[in-house]
Amino acid sequence: MSNIETNPVLDRLPQHLLQYIKPQNYNDYTAIDHAVWRYVMRVNVAHLPRLAHQSYLAGLEKTGISIDYIPSMYGMNRILQDIGWAAVAVDGFIPPQAFMEFQAYNVLVIASDIRQINHIQYTPAPDIIHEAAGHAPIIANPDYAEYLRRFGEIGSKAISSALDFELYEAARKLSVLKESKNPNQSDIDATEAHIQALQSRDEAPSEMAQIRNLHWWSVEYGLIGTLEHPKIYGAGLLSSIGESTACFSSKIEKRPYTLEAARQGFDITKPQPHLYVTPNFAHLSQVLEEFANTMALRTGGYSGLVKAVNSKQLATAELSTGLQISGVFTRILDQERTIRYIQTTGPTVLSHQNKTLIGHESSSHPDGFGSPIGKLKGINLAIEDMSPRDLKQYNIYEGEEVDLEFEGGVRVQGVIITGTRNLQGKIMLIKLNNCRVTLGEEVLFDPSWGVYDMAVGKKVTSVFAGPADTSSVDLSIDISRYDAEQNDSTSAYDALIKLYQVAQDHHTAQTLNAQTIEYICQELDKAHASDWLLPLNLLQWTLENNDLGTAEKLESILASKAQQFPGIAHLIDQGMALLPKQ
């Protein structure tokens, strides 16, 4: 992050999250971009006091977000730091696990791009209006900020599926296509159809899919208060000037926010047909804890390991001794859902309290790791619970040749080299030489493979996504890029940007006059007849300058556009309603 302004909150981020951060490049925003921001913010500030939770407008002021100009993230950071948070710019959608991990570190990720004017009411793509004007103000509320942090902490441990990754990639592609300056509708239609096909798969939702549902129905599209008279707090609604009003319609079903929301999917390509209402922010945390109690993070066991195996991704299993095994789990040997043996494939790390054990880095277990789980056969006392006297009685100490048969039938034969204990004195790892591990006729480990490390644990207490020690493995990824096609309309759009810039420069210099406005309007008529936002900006500035004659001409131009292009008439009317009265 050498070219990015940092602060104490950002300095705490682990190395693997830095790959998602990019500079904001504030000078890349065009005059059109600022005009889009200004329009959305003016509409929001006019309507949201009666629609949004009371924290919203107070939060706008606290986070230093201007109505007239796209905020500088680094200016925001200096203010967010006072409430213990920070913001970073990212390139659109990032993987859900990374997104939530940022939240766990009190960092708000902001997609620094801004929606196109044709999506001024709503976009499925993350953009700076959604992130900065939607999320940031609400985190100024301490109760909500803690919920968001805790959500990230728990959500980043949720186990994903292959389907989750496909949906993420498709959503990322759709957001790029839709926000292209030259959108290709056939590509958009094909990607939307692909997303709908993925969403309709008859597949049990993963933990990540369920917690993303909770995130959507609270952080993104949440309402707060009573079912009859709710207020908005979800960033998706706060940043959508279309849905922020439409969501109060009786046609939109209002449901109490419960754990049921975790099982309710959503479609990012369409307005939501129903919304969930929480009575207060504390209730959000209560539902989150209810869901966390269902996760492998807290339940562990056979079902947790099955989730890890099915995910085909890096995960961690923590044993009752505190030993953490991080790798790609590929096999569970069980007896009526009682774990007998677990196996990873590929580089595996052994840790304790989220720190890699010396000598058990991924280079020490490059081809995987396997170990029996459970108690020894015929002995009620688990190895981890044995006192030094018990261990000596069963010959489980350095230099002794042992023949250990576990309840599940796994047999470990070899010479003990040493043992590794946790802080409570329990043995959590035993190293053996000349070791053979078998289950019936199947050889699970052969002496020719080297030294055998046997994990000690009577049960698996926790299973979660990712490594226990994030610094122990390479978590870098290739972020997919979807470049929009360039076509003949690119030069026309560039010409439109120049017209917006001419108007903005004259307004800033206080040299905007009737002749300049007439020239701009003539140029719009030639190649940009459907553009309505620039004339609306000009109308606002002429009214502020008391140039009523020019203002009357601009009103006539806008009325003509509303009649000629009915699809934008409501946007023109909404904008004109906010202008100063003559």
Whole-number pLDDT of residue 488? 47
Nearest to 320 by CA among 461, 419, 422: 461
When pLDDT is cut at 50, 70 and 90, the band that residue 487 belongs to is very low
183 has pLDDT over 60: yes
When pLDDT is cut at 50, 70 and 90, the band that residue 286 belongs to is very high
Cα gap 83→146, rounded to integer Å: 11
Q: Give the chain's end-to-end CA distance (angstroms, integer).
A: 50
Whole-number pLDDT of residue 463? 98
Residue pointed to by tokens 């003559």: 582
Whole-number pLDDT of residue 493? 87
Q: How many CB atoms lie within 10 A of CB 45?
A: 15
Beta carbons of 424 and 430 less than 8 angstroms apart: no
Cα gap 316→297, rounded to integer Å: 9
- Helix axis angle, 514-527 relative to 548-564, nearest 10°? 10
522 has pLDDT over 90: yes
Q: Give the pTM.
A: 0.88
HEC per residue, 8-62: HHHHCCCHHHHHHEECCCHHHCCHHHHHHHHHHHHHHHHHHHHHECCHHHHHHHH
Whole-number pLDDT of residue 49? 86
Largest distance between two CA atoms of the chain: 102
322 has pLDDT over 90: yes
Q: Where are the beta strands (DSSP E) in 283-426?
A: 315-319, 323-335, 338-352, 355-356, 370-372, 401-405, 410-421
Q: Side chain identity at 472, as an amino acid letter?
A: S
Q: What is the pLDDT of residues 334-358, one digit of tens each?
A: 988 999 999 999 999 999 999 999 9
Class assignment of domain 8-289? mainly alpha
Give me the mean pLDDT over the 367-377 stretch: 96
Burial of 218 (0-12, 13-18, 19+ CB in 10 A): buried
Whole-number pLDDT of residue 486? 47
Give me the mean pLDDT over the 79-89 stretch: 86
Percent over 90 (pLDDT), the chain: 64
Q: What's the Cα-to-Cα distance from 534 to each of 397, 503, 524, 575, rounded to whole Å?
A: 81, 8, 9, 11
Rounded to the nearest integer, the mean pLDDT of the chain is 91
For residue 458, the surrounding DSSP H or E stretch is none
Q: What is the DSSP string of 107-147?
A: EEEEE-----GGGSS--SS--HIIIIIIIHHHTTSHHHHHH
Beta carbons of 308 and 159 less than 8 angstroms apart: yes
Structure tokens at 138: 């609400």
3 has pLDDT over 90: no
Whole-number pLDDT of residue 198? 86
Give me the mean pLDDT over the 110-119 stretch: 87
Cα gap 386→394, rounded to integer Å: 10
Q: How many CB atoms lie within 10 A of CB 200?
A: 9
What are the structural domain ranges in the chain?
8-289, 296-465, 489-576
More confident residue, 104 or 200: 104
- Helix axis angle, 514-527 relative to 533-544, nearest 10°? 170
Give me the mean pLDDT over the 87-98 stretch: 88
Kindly state the DSSP code that residue 71 receives in the 8-state scheme. P
